[in-house]
């Protein structure tokens, strides 16, 4: 009976460990994917030389209404193409960078299913 409990406890601990490792790897992959998407977006639409200083950790938000997203998209200009929002929850990542000689910061809002930029805001 003692061996059965020990085996069951060992399996439970192993399962928790494996789930933790998988979540960590998923989070790291999501972070790298978000950075890559932001860099591609900036390369497409930014005019000037960009040197990235830092990126925040990827976070999520539900506070952006459709009207606020539309306003942010309009501020970016007609030449910028954004992805459609498919979820009420959006991922966000902030990029701090040098544009020519100016230090800038922009928050990017990404759709979690497509990892496309839905909106961005100059900070």
Strand segments (E) across 1-123: 50-55, 59-61, 90-99, 102-110, 117-122
Owning domain of residue 90: 2-122
Q: How high is the pLDDT of residue 65?
A: 94
DSSP class of residue 87 equals S
pLDDT surpasses 90 at 120: yes
Predicted model pTM: 0.75
Q: Given pLDDT bands bounded at 50, 70 and 90, which one contains residue 7?
A: low
As a whole number of angstroms, the distance between CA 13 and CA 17 comes to 6
Q: Span 26-40, mean pLDDT?
A: 84
pLDDT surpasses 80 at 37: yes
Q: Given pLDDT bands bounded at 50, 70 and 90, which one contains residue 11?
A: low
As a whole number of angstroms, the distance between CA 50 and CA 95 comes to 11
Q: Given pLDDT bands bounded at 50, 70 and 90, which one contains residue 58?
A: very high
Kindly list the distances between the CA atom of residue 110 and the CA atoms of 6, 25, 28, 52, in Å, as whole numbers in the listed order.
45, 19, 16, 19
């Amino acid at each position: 009976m003692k061996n059965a409990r020990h085996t069951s406890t060992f399996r439970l601990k192993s399962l928790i460990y494996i789930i933790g490792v998988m979540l960590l790897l998923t989070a790291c992959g999501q972070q790298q994917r978000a950075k890559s998407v932001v860099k591609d977006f900036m390369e497409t639409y930014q005019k000037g030389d960009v040197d990235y200083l830092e990126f925040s950790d990827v976070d999520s938000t539900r506070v952006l209404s459709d009207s606020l997203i539309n306003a942010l998209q309009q501020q970016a200009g007609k030449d910028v193409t954004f992805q459609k929002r498919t979820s009420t929850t959006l991922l966000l990542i902030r990029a701090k960078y040098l544009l020519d000689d100016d230090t800038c910061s922009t928050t990017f809002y990404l759709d979690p299913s497509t990892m496309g930029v839905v909106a961005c805001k100059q900070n």
